[in-house]
Structure 1
């Protein structure tokens, strides 16, 4: 339960770390060639280390990205807080730097392009601060969102094969990989590191303003038990350490973890579609002309029930409606999640392989819906 006021101090708890070689730095205009120049995270001595004042966080249900695991961090200049918003991304101060590092489990530490499916690792606490052990992991990219005076900028950095540094790649990159599924199947695919414009394609969630902003740090995604401050809700932790300001009225918005089988199926499926689709499929988003709204509060035809497609072309898979209650096999939503055809799949960016567990979840959700489409 989120407290209305975060006045309770974190007794005996501290994220303070020893000084790092490069302190967190806000670059107001230039775009450093090396990720380490930002001073947020650095790979050293077999670990990815967070600098002092850099806060790790995670989401109840994250975006699927070809089974990549992710380490998210946020840093604000002078410890200035973000302002709470119950519905939208928090209002972070100018100078804020958000990072998201994508990595994969591997069977061999020498990079071969072969990746496994695994779970995100917890961070270690040590004399040099918080760190992610890199044994049997391969870092691929780190994306930076930086809040400058004229708005947010998105910058992609690609890690070198030696796993010592990431270099700015504004044009993006393509990394050949082979996914080893748990049942032994092997799937070669091309992992896409988006270019700066493609980053904007997801982070500009308003088709009119085209303004880039964070999409993960929202109340409903962060309202969960903290993975980094045991015993605390993540929102309460942010409030107590001064990273977040404002009054939180209970109950705060909350998405469930889509993998939590104790949660209602409807809540799990809606959380999954929200995290993976609603940054485009909302009334103001880039996919507003589709008429499909996949935000958590949408219902009826707006969220796809018996809604005919609008100019979807081969993206329909020959199916009649976005969602046909009781019939996932006739639902366009399931087809677009199943296919890996670049001209038909959804999301359009961020995946090249099928998220089989996500498809199964949404299929079960549709299968248990009552009614039909006349």
Structure 2
């Protein structure tokens, strides 16, 4: 049996968000905070253990991201689980030079914060429970989309049957393999890095002192992120052909590999937690918008995890869209969507170029580039204007950011 979705209390059809992961849920919350009626459709049940994106990754949240999460009321739900990043140290194996950043030198108490994705997911779910203008369909599946003169008609399978819903604005927040992107006919560029990322927690012999490390090598980057209780989040990238062998290592073997790749700056590493592998790819939609439709987060762009920009970039998508919709009479108008695409262009293209360029320049075997890489690191470390530029971009303040990320933390 098919039923029509109840009309929004404002008398206007709601914004329809497909996907309730980290970015989709953040968008739903931001729209709710602005008093915008919305419906969010998510395939997973509304529990942390059921949502694939609320996983074991340790997210490095840029300062702008934390400002944005505070502005939409999420940060109070997760702040106690977050660890401030007060220092950053970047090196390249086998080459001289490093980049060191200190929060105090840039006039802030922290450059960012580390937070497990599952903790952020739990905080998002708690904040979603507080929403007043949002309807959540989960678990539910988008089965079909039909274009209408005023927007889109969606056919959604729920536990209680099939629902048909009309919307003036369709938002694809449904991840890298986006059904919405395919239905809109938006092509995407794909690049497989032939790398696999392993994440887990470890305990270093020395106190991390709220310092985040990233070390580049021919085999890919390795990062150590500060966590509470003197633990660290280890992010280890390996060539795809080595992934099965790495996955089969016992704890001692895995620690030996991590130690060899990272070095001994924090002394001996020990007590590795459960390891989780992720294949790394780059997927970039060639367009961000379609007729009364828009892509955000991984549906718009999935980037290499180097530099930890994925969720940070996606949240700026969500908050920019919410800001524009909040001030509009028609959330799906062509003018609004074109404004959105223009607002996001420089940040999106710059961040994607940075992450892809770092992989190409810093993580591939190119001996002739070694001296140039070392000189570049020395310049970013010792030339104040260059470091200020890098710090500002690393903290998420690029081009024309959403107003929410400019708010200072309480």
Band the TM-score falls in, shorter-chain normalisation: under 0.3
More strand, by proportion: 2
Superposition TM-score, scaled by structure 1 size = 0.23
Task: Name which structure has the greater RCO, CA cutoff 8 Å, separation 6+.
Answer: 2
**Greater percentage in helix:** 2
Q: TM-score, normalised by structure 2?
A: 0.22
